[in-house]
Amino acid sequence: MTVATATLSLLLAAEFVFAPVNLWTGRTMGNYTRFTGLPPRLATHVLAPVKLATALALIAGLAVRTLSIAGAAAALTISCFYLACLAQPGRRDPAGLAGFAVFGALACALLALRIAT
């Protein structure tokens, strides 16, 4: 495994481990509802578990290539979901757009590296 692959995996896993905790505790719920316009229940019952599963796939992906690919694809999908929500009029937040663009780019890079190697 390359250093780049491990670094990308760990950076993404860190985000996707803490993101569900922040949603479950309500710490980022204000931003979630402002960015998406979706109900908090969807965040705590659907998105948070999906993000945690993504983190687990990314961590396990350090040892198993197919799990790395699945984790990177899930991270990219989640980032694109948030970017699509942020693209709606009245929801454009520069910090949110930048954050999810960065995590989407990291996920895209990891996915490309894992497919290529």
Could you read off the pLDDT of 29-83 as tens digits, one per residue?
A: 999 998 899 999 999 999 999 999 999 999 999 999 999 999 999 999 999 999 9
- For residue 62, report the phi and psi dihedrals to the nearest 5 degrees: -65, -25
Q: Model confidence at 1, in pLDDT bands (50, 70, 90)?
A: low
CA pseudo-torsion sign 7, 113, 65, 19: positive
Q: Which of 28, 11, 102 is nearest to 62 (CA)?
A: 11
Q: Are 69 and 8 in contact (CB under 8 A)?
A: no
Give the C-alpha separation, 109 to 17, whole Å.
Answer: 19
What is the domain extent for residue 66? Answer: 3-116
Mean pLDDT of 20-27: 96
Per-residue tokens: 48 = 């948070």
DSSP, collapsed to helix, strand or coil, labels residue 75 as: helix
Express as a percent the part of the chain with pLDDT over 90: 87
Q: Are 70 and 61 in contact (CB under 8 A)?
A: yes
